[in-house]
A and B are shown apart, each in its own frame.
Chain A
């Protein structure tokens, strides 16, 4: 028994020694998890319990769509880690992009693959109005909230006013939807347990993390340099990159990505510099005020978070890669010729061996909490 314990501690010490001080600092930077809640200053009902409840009801509400069949939850299924498992989302028609998971969405700076929105609430407006998604209108949304007694009651309680101007109601509905989506957070993962153990010097805790995942983590922060873009506790820098994925949607039609996203956010009446933001000081609008459009933005897409990645296949902005192994192979064999000549000089083929690829996948899989934390509710129309 004593000998067994000694062997275990020795093994733990050997594992701990496998990480240099610089590597430990890099790993520590991916936590702690979960982060503390910070209310969105541009949304006056952010963190408001009644707004969260209203937003949750609206998230599953099919009457928000023009044909009464589509809701936010049609593509963002809680059971599928808030995505749909399809390569490209399908609402009223097939769209051009993969449905991003809503997990940890409140931590983002820009929203959508192209960052065409600068707040969670303005992002929530887009699918409601998009002809390919829910195909609705401000008038239809306001009519629902005005004529459904339960929604009208809840709206009045949350926003303190009766249902009046259609555009204002649309924005308020989006703010309630955002308040709910802010609560969608992934839980702690095997990686988080390891990271905390490493920071504390808890050798027994360190030893519980599979060796393959540890080797994969070393590739992630070392040879792979994946952490250049996948930084911080959410494993994303929240910015945009050309990763060599073809941006042709079909012959003759391209997805301009961030290039169009910047134009859209700057011209949107719902951006953080506009009249609908509740942040009077505009302290949350620094990015919108200073973002700059460059030619290299063409074909750039947002760095996704890697938390619960294993539950969100298929991958990339157009769902082109089916498995995590395919994603790692993409970066392992990437052709520099596929990247913009005037773009970033970051990506080079990693040329990983089969074992290195399996290790990197094992690490990425250790970033999942198992999913299924959300339980659907039966909503009673009981607002008084």
Chain B
């Protein structure tokens, strides 16, 4: 009974997937949640993405592409683990306006899952 109460008390905190500092975008699959935040995006300017992956994966890669234009970025982001399932990806750049799709490739339990999220850049 006491163990059950403790689990119930801890569960919401353990499942919460968030970044310090509030508002962020969220992408979910059945097994994985990614929350990410970018600065205000501008065409032709490098930017970094802060993100968290829950549950914490073995590894994660970030990329982005323009599905309608059939091309990706001209730069390969580097990902640094900040601990506790949080990461920072540097070196991204959207070099055109239009619809871009962020892609998070999350590897856990020997499997790779791909979570995508669209943004529109004017």
A239 contacts B69, CB within 8 Å? no
Q: Which residues of B contact A346 (CB under 8 A)?
A: 69, 96
Chain A 279-298 interface 0/1 with B at a Cβ cutoff of 8 Å (1 = within): 00000001101111000100
Closest to B43 in A: A231
Q: Which residues of B contact A344 (CB under 8 A)?
A: 69-71
Q: Which of A250-303 contact B (CB under 8 A)?
A: 286-287, 289-292, 296
Chain B CB within 8 A of A229 CB: yes
Q: Which of B68, B90, B95, B97 contacts A286 (CB 8 A)?
A: B90
Q: Which of B56-80 contact A (CB under 8 A)?
A: 68-71, 74-78
Q: How far is the CA of A229 from the CA of B69 in the complex (A)?
A: 12
Given contacts A237-B44, A290-B90, A290-B91, 17 further A-B contacts (CB under 8 A): A29-B122, A109-B44, A227-B97, A228-B96, A237-B43, A238-B44, A240-B74, A286-B46, A286-B91, A287-B93, A291-B74, A291-B76, A343-B71, A344-B71, A345-B70, A346-B69, A346-B96
A290 contacts B122, CB within 8 Å? no
Q: Which of A222-244 contact B (CB under 8 A)?
A: 227-229, 231-232, 237-240
Chain B CB within 8 A of A25 CB: yes
A292 contacts B44, CB within 8 Å? no
A345 contacts B78, CB within 8 Å? no
Describe B's contact surface by its main secondary structure: loop
B102 to chain A minimum Cβ distance, whole angstroms, is 16
Q: How far is the CA of A240 from the CA of B70 in the complex (A)?
A: 15
Q: Which residues of A contact B76 (CB under 8 A)?
A: 290-292
Chain A's interface size range is 20 to 34
- A-B pairs with beta carbons under 8 A, tally: 58
Chain A 11-33 interface 0/1 with B at a Cβ cutoff of 8 Å (1 = within): 00000000000100110010000
Residues of B within 8 A of A (CB): 43-44, 46, 68-71, 74-78, 90-91, 93, 95-98, 122
A232 contacts B44, CB within 8 Å? yes
Q: Which of B44, B75, B91 contacts A231 (CB 8 A)?
A: B44
Q: Which residues of B contact A292 (CB under 8 A)?
A: 74-76
Q: Which residues of B contact A22 (CB under 8 A)?
A: 122
Residues of A within 8 A of B (CB): 22, 25-26, 29, 109, 227-229, 231-232, 237-240, 286-287, 289-292, 296, 343-346
Q: How far is the CA of A288 from the CA of B90 in the complex (A)?
A: 12
B79 to chain A minimum Cβ distance, whole angstroms, is 12
A228 contacts B70, CB within 8 Å? no
Given known pairs A231-B44, A346-B69, the reply for A239 and B122 (CB within 8 Å) is no
Q: Which residues of B contact A291 (CB under 8 A)?
A: 74-76
A73 to chain B minimum Cβ distance, whole angstroms, is 30
**Which among A26, A231, A296 has the greatest number of chain B C-beta atoms within 10 A?**
A231
A230 to chain B minimum Cβ distance, whole angstroms, is 10
Q: How far is the CA of A188 from the CA of B4 in the complex (A)?
A: 72
Q: How far is the CA of A345 from the CA of B96 in the complex (A)?
A: 13
A229 contacts B96, CB within 8 Å? yes
Q: How far is the CA of A26 from the CA of B77 in the complex (A)?
A: 28
Q: How far is the CA of A286 from the CA of B93 in the complex (A)?
A: 10
Q: Which residues of A contact B78 (CB under 8 A)?
A: 289-290
A228 contacts B71, CB within 8 Å? no
Q: How far is the CA of A25 from the CA of B122 in the complex (A)?
A: 9
